[in-house]
């Protein structure tokens, strides 16, 4: 942070009738004013004979070039070094503020500070190959306490700007900040804005500017290339204030009087602000007016600031000159704290983080390989993996897979497993509710038409839907039991009520694998499972596809084993490397570090050669692990594809044979295949029991289980 006082320079406007009581001292920094005597020989000014002021410099009769070199050049250098800078011209109407800041547009030699600053900035940009710059410009006008954007397409309609405060700094919300790529572009922006500035003829100035204007150059600088995501931001505010005037003296009326009142009021607030700052008061009334709000940083914040006090050194303007110099001497007391503002470029930061993630993943993969976990993937599960997991969860729920088979290698897989369980649970609950409702409805209808049934007119018991079917139980792992009389489906607990449409894939919800998703309509799951069995066993297409599934699953198993073997070999090689490296170190230690340290004996030479060989073997094994990992991925996909093909073919066949393609189906991979004719008979028997005498279902089921165990023993 650089603490500095605001630098103040005084510039005198050339005059044909200079006031001889105004003297610039030999040091080039001080001004002395000797007040004239009244006709009666008294003092005109508060009984004072004179006043003396000292500034950073007095520019008397100085050319535009000299003015720039003396007081502007240094600020612009600071801005190019990353500090904010502000230059402002203050003085009475007609004292030469606009001439100093903007100059005379028609004459190049008389161009002002703005044009010269633009030139200096672009000259520096052209000369620096080690830095990249982005330059933007804005042009703000404060006229009668309203903010206007002089670079807006229609500046007259741009009065919707607001000064906002953020982190003790202010900015104008809505002000256009336009990028310029060359000196020409920046200058044409400046001229374009200048052309729409509020100018009107005045008694003291034929082309008086009736507003405060701030032309700002916004710079963003960073080292060339992509090496750094840090960027430095700096602003250069070039401010041309409207001129103060004594309206009684100038006799302005109408619009000019209104403008003068606004100008004087805002300059009075500026003076109050400067007074508070110079006296280091606790409260500084920045917010009293737009001007002080906008100049907040320049006056007491993060900025290097220079003021040019323009004076019109004629006897007629003595009072205004004294007032300007008094104000200037107070401004000189103000301290600012300038510091370089750095920010991070988000796009470059993202690239750096991506690089880091890649490196960390590689590191993790290496560690996993070394610890025998080379097959683990930390990324999102592919659709094939998701389908495989859904099948595994279903097998687990139906009791066909052991809990040890569930993945526990990464948190992602564990979470996904729970997600799949949640999906399966919701689907089952929905199906069961529907089955229960159907059953209850049928029972109610059965009571009502008992007469019809007795006379053989109702549906046969075997045709009725069942609850607690053994196959269902087997496929889900849940015991359904018996629906209580009068059971009704629960409301508001359907699968679809789990969330609004489209939320099923949100981060907090389990992802639905392509073959296992979608809400299921009330169709008999048992019938469809039985049909699936038939399709795989008795239908040629189903048999063929089922064989394919089995073959690919066998390949998958083989690929897993191969990967396991290769991982084991890598670990063995790593262990060999470690022990050989230890042996080499031990040998070196035993030989000591004398002059003969570079000479090695046969044994050490052999150890080193073995180490080299093992390292080579390790590299080979490691490459093989990588290759096998790719093969395994392919096998997972291929097995899932085969399963998918089987399901699709089955659905087609099922629909063609009168089944509903939307009916839910518990895929009992392998398990359902194991139903023998006896079990098939059991299942049919259970269906019949549930239809005729549901209360005996538990009894029958228990018997059946015993039968199954006996069958297993056989
Ligand atoms: N140093 C100077 N050298 C030559 N001409 C000057 C100088 N200073 C001012 N002038 C001339 O004086 C006139 C008034 O100057 P200018 O418009 O810059 O005053 P101002 O302080 O901006 O007034 P206002 O507040 O009314 O806008 C202009 O015609 C300008 O060319």
Answer with the residue of higher pLDDT: 200 or 628: 628
- The verdict on the CB of residue 202 being under 6 Å from ligand 1 is yes
Residues found in the chain: 714
- Local structure of 79: helix, strand or coil: helix
Look at residue 693 and tell me whether its pLDDT is greater than 90. no
Q: Which residue has the higher pLDDT, 526 or 332?
A: 332
Q: What is the pLDDT of residues 14-37, one digit of tens each?
A: 999 999 999 999 999 999 999 887
Separation of CA 89 and ligand 1 centre (Å): 11
Q: How far is the CA of 101 from the centre of ligand 1 (A)?
A: 10
| Nearest-atom index, ligand 1, CA of 241 | 25
Only one residue has tokens 């505010």, namely: 237
CA–CA dist 105, 10 (Å, integer):
23
Residue 10's nearest CA partner among 283, 439, 328, 438 is 328
Is the C-beta atom of 237 inside 6 A of ligand 1? Answer: no
Residue 408 φ then ψ, to 5°? -140, 20
Q: What are the residue boundaries of the structural domains of the chain, listed by start?
A: 2-337
Residue with CA nearest ligand 1 atom 14: 94
In angstroms, how far is the first alpha carbon of the chain from the final one? 90
Query: How far is the centre of ligand 1, averaged over its atoms, from the C-alpha of 218 (Å)?
Result: 27
Contacts 24+ apart (CB under 8 A), 411-414: 412/378, 412/380, 412/381, 413/381, 413/389
Reported ipTM:
0.98
Residue 66 has pLDDT above 90, yes or no: yes
What does the alpha-carbon distance between residue 568 and residue 579 come to, in Å, rounded to a whole number? 17
Measure the CA–CA gap between 12 and 317, rounded to whole angstroms. 12
Among 258, 292, 245, 302, CA closest to 272: 292
95 lines ligand 1 (CB under 6 A): yes
Higher pLDDT among residues 486 and 593, named by residue: 593
Q: Tens digits of per-residue pLDDT, 231-280?
A: 899 999 999 999 987 877 777 788 888 888 899 899 999 999 998 888 88
CA 276 to chain centre: 42
When mean pLDDT is compared across 194-198, 438-442, 548-552, 593-597, the lowest value belongs to 593-597
pLDDT score at 350? 81
Where residue 198 falls among pLDDT bands split at 50, 70, 90?
Answer: low
**Structure-token match 């659709």, residue found:** 383
Q: Please give the CATH number for the structural domain made up of 2-337.
A: 3.40.850.10
pLDDT tens-digit series, residues 465-505: 333 333 333 333 333 333 334 333 333 333 333 333 333 34
- Give pLDDT tens digits for 82-122: 999 999 999 999 999 999 999 987 788 899 999 999 999 99
- pTM recorded for the entire structure: 0.54
**Among residues 16, 55, 35, which one has the least CA distance to residue 324?**
55
CB burial of residue 60 (10 Å; 0-12, 13-18, 19+): middle
Q: Mean of the per-residue pLDDT values for the chain? A: 78
Pocket test for ligand 1, best of 71, 98, 259 (most atoms within 8 A of CB): 98
Read off the pLDDT of each residue in 513-530 and give the average, rounded to a whole number.
Answer: 51
Confidence band of 685 (pLDDT split at 50, 70, 90):
low
């Amino acid at each position: 942070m650089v603490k500095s006082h605001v630098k103040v320079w005084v510039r005198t406007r050339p005059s044909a009738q200079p006031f001889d009581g105004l003297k610039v001292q030999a040091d080039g920094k001080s001004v002395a004013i000797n007040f004239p005597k009244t006709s009666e020989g008294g003092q005109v000014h508060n009984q004072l004979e004179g006043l003396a002021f000292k500034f950073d410099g007095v520019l008397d009769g100085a050319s535009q070039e000299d003015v720039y070199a003396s007081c502007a050049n240094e600020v612009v250098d600071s801005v190019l070094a990353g500090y904010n800078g502000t230059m402002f011209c203050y003085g009475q109407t007609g004292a030469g503020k606009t001439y100093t800041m903007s100059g005379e547009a028609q004459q190049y030699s008389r161009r002002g500070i703005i044009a010269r600053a633009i030139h200096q900035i672009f000259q520096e940009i052209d000369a620096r190959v080690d830095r990249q710059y982005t330059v933007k410009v804005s042009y703000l006008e404060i006229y009668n306490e309203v903010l206007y954007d002089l670079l807006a397409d229609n500046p007259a309609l741009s009065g919707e700007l607001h000064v906002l405060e953020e982190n003790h700094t202010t900015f104008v919300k809505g002000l256009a900040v336009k990028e310029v790529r060359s000196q020409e572009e920046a200058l044409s922006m400046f001229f374009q804005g200048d052309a729409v500035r509020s100018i009107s003829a005045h008694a003291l100035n034929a082309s008086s500017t009736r507003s405060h204007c701030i032309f700002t150059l916004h710079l963003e600088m960073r080292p060339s290339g992509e090496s750094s995501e840090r960027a430095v931001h700096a602003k250069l505010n070039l401010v041309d204030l409207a001129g103060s005037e004594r309206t009684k003296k100038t006799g302005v009326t109408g619009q000019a009087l209104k403008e003068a009142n606004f100008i004087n009021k805002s300059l009075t607030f500026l003076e109050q602000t400067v007074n508070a700052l110079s006296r280091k008061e606790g409260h500084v009334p920045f917010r009293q007016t737009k001007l002080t709000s906008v100049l907040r940083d320049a006056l007491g914040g993060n900025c290097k600031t220079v003021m040019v006090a323009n004076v019109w050194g004629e006897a007629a303007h003595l009072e205004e000159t004294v007032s300007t110099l008094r104000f200037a001497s107070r401004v000189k007391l103000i301290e600012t704290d300038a510091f370089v503002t750095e920010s991070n470029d988000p796009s470059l930061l993202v690239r750096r983080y991506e690089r880091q993630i890649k490196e960390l993943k590689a590191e993790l993969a290496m560690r996993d390989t070394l610890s025998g976990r080379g097959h683990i993937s930390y990324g999102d599960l592919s659709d094939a993996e998701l389908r495989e997991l859904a099948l595994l969860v279903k097998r687990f729920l139906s009791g066909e897979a052991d809990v040890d088979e569930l993945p526990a290698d990464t948190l992602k897989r564990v979470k996904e497993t729970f997600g799949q369980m949640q999906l399966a649970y919701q689907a089952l609950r929905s199906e069961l509710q529907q089955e229960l409702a159907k059953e209850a409805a049928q029972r109610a209808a059965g009571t009502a038409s008992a007469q019809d049934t007795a006379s053989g007119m109702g549906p046969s018991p075997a045709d009725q839907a069942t609850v607690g079917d053994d196959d269902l139980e087997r496929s889900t792992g849940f015991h359904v039991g018996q629906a209580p009389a009068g059971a009704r489906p629960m409301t508001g607990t359907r699968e679809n009520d789990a969330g609004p449409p489209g939320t099923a894939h949100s981060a907090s919800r389990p992802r639905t694998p392509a073959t296992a998703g979608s809400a299921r309509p009330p169709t008999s799951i048992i019938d469809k499972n039985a049909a699936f069995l038939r399709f795989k066993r008795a239908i040629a297409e189903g048999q063929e596809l089922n064989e394919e599934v089995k073959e690919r699953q066998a390949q998958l198993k083989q690929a897993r084993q191969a990967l396991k073997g290769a991982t084991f070999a890598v670990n063995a090689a790593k262990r060999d490397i470690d022990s050989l490296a230890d042996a080499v170190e031990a040998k070196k230690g035993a030989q000591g570090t004398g002059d003969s340290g570079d000479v090695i004996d046969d044994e050490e030479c052999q150890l080193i050669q073995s180490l080299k060989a093992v390292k080579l073997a390790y590299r080979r094994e490691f490459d093989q692990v990588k290759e096998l990992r790719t093969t395994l991925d392919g096998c997972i996909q291929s097995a899932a594809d085969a399963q998918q093909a089987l399901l699709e073919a089955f659905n087609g066949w099922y629909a063609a044979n009168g089944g509903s393609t939307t009916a839910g189906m518990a895929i009992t991979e392998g398990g359902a295949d194991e139903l023998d004719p006896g079990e098939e008979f059991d299942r049919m028997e259970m269906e019949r029991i549930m239809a005729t005498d549901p209360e005996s279902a538990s009894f029958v089921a228990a018997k059946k289980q015993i039968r199954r165990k006996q069958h297993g023993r056989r």
